[in-house]
Structure 1
């Protein structure tokens, strides 16, 4: 079968890999000069298999209302007349209830744990280094209220198959000596032992070489301009340079997915939430994290990538504006110094911003839609790296008419 994968980020590359390995003739296409040049380029590097709390919760809503217009808060929202934003917010509000949070948690956790299994399965074919560490993840919590909220969510996830540990202050310092300077400020500490970390961009570069060896046709520097249909099927994809026809089309364009599908009357409930990241060289290893840490209060993560510190987080309602704002970068630099006061100079950073494809319920769109020959694999929000492998495997199983190991209706667009 001839298959055209639209988008060469983490999810597109991995989907193309599994489909080509299944015996299909795969082409992958992207506007960028190479693979992983957008959200996959400089993310938080966490493989958060056990992080399954949906954004759409009453607690998040209450915090978001307090943060309106405040530049130093995790979520930056400036009310505007953007109809796309308001449509998304209305759907988000409809999901801010206990029933939706419980259901969303189960769906996200199922996808995360399945992704861990799929990565383990394909790892024997990955002949490249992508700074993969299996050291778990630590959450530092600075208030009693946040501690109780995190404990409640962790207990819910444990019932669903997740694992967590509560660390004493001494245990926390033993695992992460870099936290010793602020241990007195930390109310509590959790650890997810199943979580991992890795460099997503390095993975894309390595996977691109494997795709080349497997015979996948890789097309870069080509922008998709139009998607054409006839009745209930896609007939062709038109770029700024050529036209492509396939038996199946896989949509992996992240935040840009709804801009394409609106041409054919397919409205995807995805909004681009802008996130930021910094990368710093670690000059004093003893004063930097050994693995991955999440500061629950600031919603910022810190990950050691083989001598580089990746700092990522925040969310901003800014439409399709990818500009980097200095005050958000300064906020994250300050958080490095606040959590790791002996880290050293934080002025020399590489900063980045990307648009996370977020759905109102925090659950991605995977599977079929109203057009018979296009499959959706988009809307993964902040968990794209985590959910890459399970999402790609689900798509491959659908195409190959094999049994899918998760309930497809959980991730289907029909839930909206």
Structure 2
């Protein structure tokens, strides 16, 4: 079978890998000159199944209002009458109940835990290196209120069989000794020992090379215009380099997926949530993180990637605007300087911004569509790196007619039609 994969981020490349492993002829199409040049380029570096949770949660509407008043707010919403954004926000607010949160988090954990296992298997099989560390993630609490609120997440972790450790400050310092310089700012933490860190860009580039060895064809610098349809069947992809035909078509275009699907009447509720990251060369390793810490107050992650620190976080709802205002840089810069002062060279900071394809319930959209031959692997939000390998293996099984290793409940786009 000939499968056309649209998108060469980590999701698309990982999908191509599994499909090629099954013996299929695979063509990957992307407008960029090489893999992982957009959302996969400089994310926070977390492979964090244990931290997988929807943004739509009880109490978030009130928190969002408070964040609007803060200088270092985790979330900013640009006032707009954009009906797409307003519709997406309405759906997200509809998921801010305890019942919806528990359901959506369980779905996300199902994919993320499976994905981590797939990544470990791939690493053992190929020996691929990507500045990876398997030392867990620590969610840092600066207040007793945050510590108490973590009980709800712990109950869900327990119900899904996810390992965790509740830590006092001394125990946090055993895993992250550099935090001893700021121990008075912490009250406790939640450690997820199964979580990892790694450079998503490096991983995707190296996996793409292995895909080429299996015969995968990459067509870069190729703009995708539309899907060609005859009755209820996809018959090709129209690009600026001509028509690309296959037997099956996989959309893995992140935030740009809805634009391609909408003319077919497929309404994928994915909205671009802009995030920011800083990459800082380490100058004093004793003051740098050992793995990843997530500052629960500012929703910013600080990760160790080889001889660099990656700081990522914050969110803006501003459509497809890729500008990098100084106010958002200040947010992530503050956290790394507050928790790990003196760890890196501030004069050599690299700033990046990207669009995370977020669904209103947090769960990605995986599986078949109503059109014959058309499949989706998109909408992973902030967890594309975390869920990449599991999502790719899952969709490869679906395309190949196999029964996936995890439950399919609630993962397809059909969940929005109920």
Unaligned residue ranges in structure 1 (runs of 5+): none
Is contact 1:69–1:76 with CA below 8 Å preserved after alignment? no
Q: Which residue of 1 aligns with 2:209?
A: 209
Unaligned residue ranges in structure 2 (runs of 5+): none
C-alpha displacement of 1:42: 0.2
Larger mean Cα displacement after TM superposition, 255-264 or 64-73: 64-73
Q: Which residue of 1 aligns with 2:14?
A: 14
Q: Which residue of 2 aligns with 1:115?
A: 115
Q: Which residue of 2 aligns with 1:49?
A: 49
Taking the aligned partners of 2:404 and 2:332, their CA distance within structure 1 comes to: 40
After TM superposition, the runs of 4+ consecutive aligned structure 1 residues lying more than 6 A away are none
Is contact 1:52–1:157 with CA below 8 Å preserved after alignment? no
Q: Which residue of 1 aligns with 2:295?
A: 295
SS in 1 for 2:401: coil
| Matched ranges for 1:88-237 at <5 A | 88-237=88-237
Taking the aligned partners of 1:162 and 1:128, their CA distance within structure 2 comes to: 26
C-alpha displacement of 1:156: 2.1
With normalisation by structure 1, the TM-score equals 0.97
CA RMSD between the two structures: 1.3
SS in 2 for 1:229: strand
Larger mean Cα displacement after TM superposition, 116-125 or 231-240: 116-125
SS in 2 for 1:410: coil
Listed one character per residue, the Cα deviations across residues 360-414 of structure 1 (whole Å, up to 9, x for unaligned) are 0000000011112110000000000010011011111111211112222311111
| Matched ranges for 1:65-80 at <5 A | 65-68=65-68, 70-80=70-80
Listed one character per residue, the Cα deviations across residues 270-294 of structure 1 (whole Å, up to 9, x for unaligned) are 0000000000000100011111111
Taking the aligned partners of 1:405 and 1:174, their CA distance within structure 2 comes to: 36
Distance 1:121 1:344, change over 3 A: closer
Taking the aligned partners of 1:67 and 1:135, their CA distance within structure 2 comes to: 31
Q: Which residue of 1 aligns with 2:61?
A: 61
Taking the aligned partners of 1:54 and 1:20, their CA distance within structure 2 comes to: 32
Taking the aligned partners of 1:267 and 1:238, their CA distance within structure 2 comes to: 20
Listed one character per residue, the Cα deviations across residues 91-134 of structure 1 (whole Å, up to 9, x for unaligned) are 11111111101101110111111111211222234343201111
Is contact 1:164–1:191 with CA below 8 Å preserved after alignment? yes
Larger mean Cα displacement after TM superposition, 352-361 or 319-328: 319-328
Give aligned pairs, total. Answer: 416
Distance 1:79 1:303, change over 3 A: same
Taking the aligned partners of 1:195 and 1:344, their CA distance within structure 2 comes to: 24
Q: Which residue of 2 aligns with 1:372?
A: 372
Listed one character per residue, the Cα deviations across residues 24-44 of structure 1 (whole Å, up to 9, x for unaligned) are 110001111100001110001
Taking the aligned partners of 1:217 and 1:52, their CA distance within structure 2 comes to: 33
C-alpha displacement of 1:312: 0.2
Taking the aligned partners of 2:240 and 2:266, their CA distance within structure 1 comes to: 22
Is contact 1:136–1:292 with CA below 8 Å preserved after alignment? yes
Is contact 2:282–2:345 with CA below 8 Å preserved after alignment? no
With normalisation by structure 2, the TM-score equals 0.97
Larger mean Cα displacement after TM superposition, 175-184 or 62-71: 62-71
| Matched ranges for 1:26-41 at <5 A | 26-41=26-41
Taking the aligned partners of 2:169 and 2:121, their CA distance within structure 1 comes to: 36
Is contact 1:71–1:328 with CA below 8 Å preserved after alignment? no
Taking the aligned partners of 1:328 and 1:253, their CA distance within structure 2 comes to: 25
Taking the aligned partners of 1:154 and 1:355, their CA distance within structure 2 comes to: 29
C-alpha displacement of 1:69: 6.2
Taking the aligned partners of 2:347 and 2:359, their CA distance within structure 1 comes to: 34
C-alpha displacement of 1:59: 2.0
Q: Which residue of 2 aligns with 1:405?
A: 405
